[in-house]
Structure 1
């Protein structure tokens, strides 16, 4: 595996790494002649991100064999990219052979300086891929990053989970076309909660580029940290953000919305987040699985404050992979 980046592509790659580092700790690189895929999964297994880079994204791109895989620490790559991008002429990444223990990262700077780094590959890392067809998620909306940032600015900066409620648009003057609600999550397990709770009613025609929902109202509650990370990525790439979802307890998927068809773009990205089992509309679970009334044992505590989030690692291996099509690959 050998590839080289410069200019705007290098800036996009740096944004990708920064976003991935806010999701997980370890980065899996899967290189084939047709694409380079970057994957990460957070420690609680409730967030998964994938970024796909096509050969046309690179200055040069060479892969020997059907596929090359390796896994490295994201903080190590972030250290490589601490050099100001404006001073870098190009970045070259090379894995000498599929069994090599280290990946070489080389920065050629405009001042003639050359920096080389060797990042150790993790031994027998558990590489996982998540396949979730966004076309099968019935509800969705497209929003400009600056507009979503403006809406989120109404909530406390310490907010960790947010609820999106989608209803079918109506022409009723009393409703005023406000078919979407953003609500700060209220954890029922916390008594005497003094946090500020905010609710926003939104007219999709005014705030969104696109909006799709039919039938009964649905809601999804998910992490704000991961949303903001992906939002920053889309804003830096100057693309809108597309959110797809179904109902409480089912994953929410986020992807960039390109002006043209995504098939003609030389990169794509996907962020999938677990959502809470309990619907905030009815206060009931949408799954047959029991929802704990009290905090679970410490070894099952998630990164989120609520104990009602579907954590992928809490499910059995067979159930996990069949539910989300997440399949392990040993490298």
Structure 2
């Protein structure tokens, strides 16, 4: 695989990597004929996140080189690999610095070498070159319903972020209670803890406060705030709306945002 990105796409890619790094410890890379997918899963396997970068995102994208096809057309040339987040963050650590200096970025996954090659062409003719060792792996996928969710609602990422400011920074889990005309958020308190000794925070969001609101099933879902804050950090930086989809207790909650190119 070989792809070329402009300065704007490099900034988006860097923010996506930072988002994934706050969720999991390994970055999974899967190039396809339709673009590039970056994935991660947290240690407890309770959260999965994926960014799909389609062809318009790139200045140039080549899934498989002609030389590879001619050399061995029957060989499985699909690369599925992973590498530690720490190594990829060493390349994309400073988003501000990348935004100021990088003009284009060339990313390569040569089949004959277990290396992710990243090359930045910067202002004043400076070229920065990185070779990162990767490990081949199986594709990582989350088992969740991709359509037909009972409840869907969306609003701006800033609205979600401002809502979460009501909760203390030490809050680890929040319960979402869905009703036909509102969403009620409250900090989750374990059954073993005496509720009278805990601070209870509750926020109610009316239906009219959302861009789109369609709740067909009243339910409660409790999940960790760490991953949601990572998702919101990316969405808010790019001023994206966040689409939330829920099925019911015991099922995954799905957050989606789309950036058009």
Q: What TM-score does the superposition give when structure 2 sets the normalisation length? A: 0.88
The residue matched to 2:124 in structure 1 has which SS? coil
Which residue is equivalent to 2:72?
none
Comparing 88-97 and 191-200, the one that deviates more: 191-200
CA contact (8 A) 1:33 1:67 kept: no
Which residue is equivalent to 1:78?
89
Which residue is equivalent to 2:105?
91
Which residue is equivalent to 2:19?
19
The residue matched to 1:10 in structure 2 has which SS? helix
Distance 1:192 1:237 in 2: 39
CA contact (8 A) 1:240 1:256 kept: yes
The residue matched to 2:170 in structure 1 has which SS? coil
Q: CA RMSD in A?
A: 1.8
Q: CA deviation at 1:136?
A: 1.8
The residue matched to 1:76 in structure 2 has which SS? helix
Distance 1:41 1:214 in 2: 29
Structure 2 unaligned runs (5+)? Answer: 70-76
Distance 1:202 1:5 in 2: 40
Which residue is equivalent to 2:193?
190
Which residue is equivalent to 2:74?
none
Q: What TM-score does the superposition give when structure 1 sets the normalisation length? A: 0.70
- Pair 1:211-2:213 in alignment: yes
Shift in CA distance, 17/34, structure 1 to aligned 2, threshold 3 Å = same
Which residue is equivalent to 1:119?
132
Which residue is equivalent to 1:316?
none
Shift in CA distance, 114/151, structure 1 to aligned 2, threshold 3 Å = same
Distance 1:234 1:125 in 2: 29
Q: CA deviation at 1:162?
A: 0.5
1:128 corresponds, among 118, 134, 140, to 140
1:103 corresponds, among 112, 116, 121, to 116
The residue matched to 1:13 in structure 2 has which SS? helix
Q: How many residues align?
A: 247
Q: CA deviation at 1:145?
A: 1.2
- The structure with the greater share of residues assigned to helix is 2
CA contact (8 A) 1:24 1:41 kept: yes
Q: Deviations over 1:61-82 (max 9, x none)?
A: 1111663222111221111013
Shift in CA distance, 208/241, structure 1 to aligned 2, threshold 3 Å = same
The residue matched to 2:140 in structure 1 has which SS? strand
Q: Deviations over 1:242-280 (max 9, x none)?
A: 11011121110000156xxxxxx35xxxxxxxxxxxxxx
Shift in CA distance, 190/61, structure 1 to aligned 2, threshold 3 Å = same
Structure 1 unaligned runs (5+)? Answer: 170-178, 259-264, 267-331
Distance 2:51 2:170 in 1: 28
Q: CA deviation at 1:234?
A: 1.1
Distance 1:139 1:201 in 2: 17
The residue matched to 1:128 in structure 2 has which SS? coil
The residue matched to 1:225 in structure 2 has which SS? helix
Which residue is equivalent to 2:167?
155
Q: Deviations over 1:202-249 (max 9, x none)?
A: 2120x211111135x211000101001101111122210011011121
Distance 1:249 1:132 in 2: 11
Shift in CA distance, 242/100, structure 1 to aligned 2, threshold 3 Å = same
What does 1:316-327 align with in structure 2 at a 5 Å threshold?
A: none
Q: Deviations over 1:260-305 (max 9, x none)?
A: xxxxx35xxxxxxxxxxxxxxxxxxxxxxxxxxxxxxxxxxxxxxx
